[in-house]
Structure formats: C-alpha cells, structure tokens
Amino acid sequence: MKKLANLLETKQVSSQEIVEHYLGEITRQEPMLNAFITVDQEGALTQAQAADQRRAENRPLSPWDGIPIAIKDNISTRGLNTTCASRFLANYRPLFDATVVRYLKDAGLPILGKTNLDEFAMGSSTEYSAYGVTCNPHDRSRVSGGSSGGSAAAVAAGEIPWSLGSDTGGSIRQPASFCGVVGLKPTYGWVSRYGLVALAPSLDQIGPLATSVEDTAILFSLLAGADPKDASSAAAQTFEVPAWDERCIKGLKIGVPEEFFGKGLHPEVEQAVRRGLRALEEQGAVLVPISLSTNEYAIDTYLTLVTAEASSSLARYDGVRYGERVGAQDSNTMFAKSRAAGFGPEVKRRIILGTYVLSASHYEAYYEQAQRVRTLIRQDVLEAFRHVDVIITPTTPTAAFRIGAKQSPLEMYLSDLFTAMANLSGIPALSVPCGKDSKGLPLGMQIMGKHFSEALLFRVGHFVEKTVGIRGCCR
C-alpha cells in the first residue's frame, strides 16, 4: 500500500486511474467470482476525483487518500445498499454510515462497493448468500470461506487492495486462510460496532483484510479507537503501525496448544504451521507446549450463544420496521409470511434454535450454562497468557473445501473449530498465510494474543510472512 501511496503522492498515478483499474478487474472477474453484491462505479469515481483534487491542492486527508476499498455488505453505508446478502433487505439503503465507514471516508478512501457474505453473516462458506456463492480465486470449484468470503476473495483476486469484514466466530480469519490473505479479528471493543448489522453483539467485531501484514496493520490503524456511539467500545487509544523489528522474536514465548494439533487436523495444514513454528524457533522464539482444554466446549458454547443472540437481533426484521412486507389479513400472519419469504434456510434454522435455548423452560439449561462455560474458556485463555506471549494454532483444520461438500449444518459449524475461542474470550487473532497444500490451496496460521496486543501479533505475522508465507493473490 505504501507503493500506491507513494505513486499518488508523487503524482505518477491518479486515484481515478487506480479506481478505474480495480473497476476493470471487477468487471473482468465478477462473472466467475461473485465477490461483490453492489459495485458503486459512479460513486467511487466521484470520490477518486475528489481525492485527486485534494492532492493537486496539497491537502490530502491521509497518506492513503485515494486508495479504494470494499466493505462487507453487513456494514452500513449511507445511500448505498446494505443487504446482508438477504432478500429481506434487498432494497435497504441506510441513512447513516457505520463509524468505521466514516473513518475511511475521513481518510479519503473511495468505496468501490459491498462484498458478498453468508446471509446476515450466518455461515462459513458464503454458500448461504441470497446472491449466490462466492468462489475461491485459487480454485473456483471451492468455497472462499465465510462469512466474509466476498471480502477475502476480492482481495485475493486483485479486485481491490484491501477490504473490511466482520468476525463473530472466525468469519474474517477462516476466509482469509482459505483465500491466502491476511485477516485480523481485533480485540473486542477496539473497533466500533456502530453500524454493523448485529448477529451476536457480544461476539461481533469488524476487522481488516489485505494481501500483506503491513497493509492489514495500516487499515487497522484507520479503524481502531473508542466510539461513544458503541456501548461496548473500549477506552482504547488509537493504533499506530509498529516498526518491523525482528528482534522482538528472540525470547518470545509461543504457546502451542496440543488440542489444536490432534484429530481432525489435515496433515498438510499441520506441516505448514509447524514449519512456521520452526522458523520462529530458529529466530530465537521459545515454543511452550500448553493446554487449552476448554476448547473442546468452544463450538457448543459458541453455537448456543450465537443462535440465542441472533434470535434476539433479528426480531426487528418483521416486514414493518425493516425489510420487505408480505400482505396478510392480520399482523401475526404478515410477520410469519414476511419472514418466510425473506429469510433463507440457515437464518431460519438459527432463529429457531436461538428461540428454543432462550425459552423459559430451557434458558437455564442452555443459555445460562453456555455463559458459565464461556467464563471458564476466558479464564483458561487468560491463564495461558500468564505463561506465554502469543498462542499459535492452525486457522482452519483443512484447506478450502469444495462448493456443496458440506451438506450437514453441524459439519459446516465445525469450520470454526479453531477460531471461536478468540471471540468467546475477546482476544485479538490474526490469520497469516503459511504455505500451500499439494493442490496449491492456501493454508493459514492463527496468531492469538492478549487483549490489545495487536502490534505484537502484526510483528510475529510479518516474520511468518517473510519466512514461510505466501502472497495470496491469483493475478
């Protein structure tokens, strides 16, 4: 990104030319990829021209003024459709920008469009989108991951230099791993959720995706900070991109949890992650075997909480306040018909499950128990960080799977096996490419840290990227 910024600063290229290039890539690749739901060609070119005018007058809004970005389509954009990949919101055009979108506009980044996702961010493959599946740029017969599959695929394919996604149980990191790009789930509360269409508010977090660790860190620096409009916003300082000093690796204590390297992990994924661990060890890091035994309960706990919160969050979509209305003789029938017509099968499934666990007869047995286990998981993670500086695991058990391969919902939910723990405990987690398998598919390493330790994660990720990583573009 610094190269693009330098070209803009020295006026060797204009923002309009950059935007036109990426719009050309979108036009060329979208029939095969389907990473975008909405492309705002007119708006992006207008914003680019404004950026060029500012630079001509030597008053750029930031070093990145004029470099375009794409936004996941569950993040509110004023005057630009925000569909959440659902028929229910097909024509919803917000009257306000999410806080992160306002930050990006304040920095001068033209918005090229809105990227595809699993409907209301409920899924791990982008197969649950009402607008069709997003294909993996490395192999179009395979999924791009989810729910931020469109954001990851667009970056990997070179349709956009960077993008925003959201992560509730792995929805940034898993598609980043599948597509061979870098993705960060920040510390809960360091990035405002104002304007993010809620799935599970106690777990959701907006984060950046890019082709390199440095670019991901730059984008994160534009997003981080406290926001009075978000009640869960932490009183955190803004973030500055760290110096890339490899001396921080020497003496670094890296926790390697045995539970993440057992049954269900593909051998090629394990080999790639262990190769990265060896490279860190050779640089002077200390590998510390640890146990995170509560991860056995992470998926069950996550699914209980996410369905309960989703049931509550989606209650507003009734055909009156939001969404398309189906006419009926009475309000209850209208609600039922509107939801039946507007929601896809996965959304309906999660609403039903969430309503069940929140019901009076099951609340204590399921929801309250899940909250107790969540506390144990958080304590387990915090205890581990008393002994180590970072924890490294595979991001996903396998490389990207084929479209249609996972017919069972439970099988799909297990895609978040290694990522849900970070959301349940609120810690930051970074996925970095660490190689490819025998089929040429990208593989990812997950680096987790203490709350607000993103700078350290970026430094470790930068070293991994230099030694064993790949640049996940398919251009």
Are the C-beta atoms of residues 386 and 439 closer than 8 Å to each other?
no
Predicted pLDDT at 325: 85
281 inside domain: no
- Split the chain (475 residues) into runs of 10 and give each run's mean pLDDT: 94 97 98 98 98 97 98 98 96 96 98 98 97 98 98 98 98 98 98 97 98 98 96 88 92 97 94 97 97 96 97 90 82 87 94 96 96 98 98 98 92 92 98 97 98 97 91 45
Predicted pLDDT at 113: 98
Distance CA 433, CA 260 (A): 17
Distance CA 130, CA 410 (A): 21
Selected catalytic residue, list 14, 15, 72, 453:
72
Selected catalytic residue, list 144, 163, 171, 192:
171
Tokens, residue 398: 């396998």
- What's 129's DSSP letter? -
Quote the domain boundaries for residue 169: 2-223
Selected catalytic residue, list 15, 147, 166, 192:
147
Residue 272 CA: distances (Å) to CA of 262, 362, 432, 449, 472? 15, 43, 11, 20, 15
Are the C-beta atoms of residues 191 and 216 closer than 8 Å to each other?
no
Distance CA 181, CA 159 (A): 13
DSSP H helical segments within 263-388, as ranges? 267-282, 298-313, 331-342, 345-358, 369-384
365 inside domain: no
Residue 147 annotated among the catalytic residues of the structure: yes
273 inside domain: no
Distance CA 73, CA 58 (A): 33
Q: Which of 49, 40, 119 is nearest to 77 (CA)?
A: 40
Predicted pLDDT at 472: 39
424 inside domain: no
Tokens, residue 75: 């993040």
Residue 62 annotated among the catalytic residues of the structure: no
Quote the number of domains for the chain: 1
164 inside domain: yes
Sign of CA dihedral 160, 162, 166, 169: positive
Instruction: Give the predicted TM-score (pTM) of the model.
Output: 0.96
Identify the CATH number of the domain in which residue 180 sits: 3.90.1300.10
Predicted pLDDT at 233: 94
117 inside domain: yes
Residue 124 annotated among the catalytic residues of the structure: no
Predicted pLDDT at 471: 52
Angle of helix 454-467 relative to helix 213-223, nearest 10 degrees, comes to 160
414 inside domain: no
443 inside domain: no
Helix (H) or strand (E) holding 394: strand 390-394
